[in-house]
């Protein structure tokens, strides 16, 4: 994988400015998941991942397979999410006493499920390419991992930046291990993410702070280069 492409992959984290309710924290190992490569951007040898729906399914499957393997390597048992819910607009599932909002993806610790606004993610997929799916979904699974590892955070921004690092580490392991494969054109495709940004100011005390674009990019790159164990 070319270094130039890695730098562009880092920019994808700017699309993750609308993360939902999460609690917890931790780390994992950076071992790759076994699998085959393929054509069509982030894809597999079986030609899966050629449509939005199949990319979403594949991103979920590969991410959970990665964490299952990573937990097992540390003598732990990964607990898969109980549900993976697509919703539209205001019709999302509640998380405790908090209602889902449009244009969002979130992990709910109360029900141990992940939900996403399908129309919003489809639009990101259309505008930015399949790479957006393979970052947003691992980011939300990063929150599910945090809750299982029972690590507390003082600030929300710390939680979000670790999830960005987990997303980078997961994607890096999948690409380096051959489960996902990049192709010429991914670099230009992912550059669209420059249109998005992180927090406009470096105010870590805000309860919804996610980190500036540079901070999120740095954490994603850290995970991609060094694995989730570095997060």
What count of other Cβ atoms lies within 10 Å of the Cβ of residue 164? 32
Which pLDDT does position 42 carry in this prediction?
55
pLDDT in tens, 115-126: 999 999 999 888
Q: What is the pLDDT of residue 45?
A: 35
Specify the higher pLDDT residue, 178 or 207: 178
CA-based max dimension of the chain: 46
Q: Which of 131-140, 142-151, 169-178, 186-195 has the weakest average pLDDT?
A: 186-195
Highest mean pLDDT among 102-116, 122-136, 183-197: 102-116
C-alpha–C-alpha distance, residues 12 and 130, integer Å? 11
Distance CA 211, CA 219 (A): 10
Q: Name residues whose C-beta falls within 8 Å of residue 12's C-beta, 6 or more positions apart in sequence.
A: 128, 131, 132, 135, 190, 193, 220
Higher pLDDT, 210 or 12: 210
Supply the mean pLDDT for the chain.
Answer: 76
């Amino acid at each position: 994988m070319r270094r130039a492409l890695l730098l562009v992959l880092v920019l994808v984290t700017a699309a993750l400015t609308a993360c939902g309710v999460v609690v917890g924290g931790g780390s994992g190992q950076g071992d790759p998941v076994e699998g085959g490569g393929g054509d069509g951007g982030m894809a597999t040898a079986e030609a899966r991942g050629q449509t939005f729906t199949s990319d979403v399914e594949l991103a979920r499957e590969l991410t959970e397979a990665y964490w299952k393997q990573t937990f097992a390597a540390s003598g732990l048992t990964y607990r898969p999410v109980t549900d993976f819910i697509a919703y539209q607009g205001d019709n999302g599932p509640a998380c405790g006493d908090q209602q889902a909002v449009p244009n969002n993806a979130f992990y709910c610790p109360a029900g141990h499920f992940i939900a996403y606004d399908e129309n919003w993610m489809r639009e990101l997929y259309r505008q930015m390419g399949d790479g957006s799916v393979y970052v947003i979904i691992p980011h939300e699974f990063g929150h599910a991992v945090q809750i299982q590892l029972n690590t507390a955070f003082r600030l929300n921004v710390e939680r979000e930046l670790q999830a960005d690092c987990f997303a980078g580490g997961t994607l890096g392991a999948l690409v380096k291990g051959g489960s996902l494969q990049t192709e010429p054109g991914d670099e230009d495709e992912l550059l669209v993410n420059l249109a998005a940004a992180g927090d406009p100011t470096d105010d870590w005390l805000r309860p919804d702070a996610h980190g500036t674009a540079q901070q999120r990019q740095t954490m994603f790159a850290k995970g991609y280069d060094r694995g989730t164990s570095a997060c």
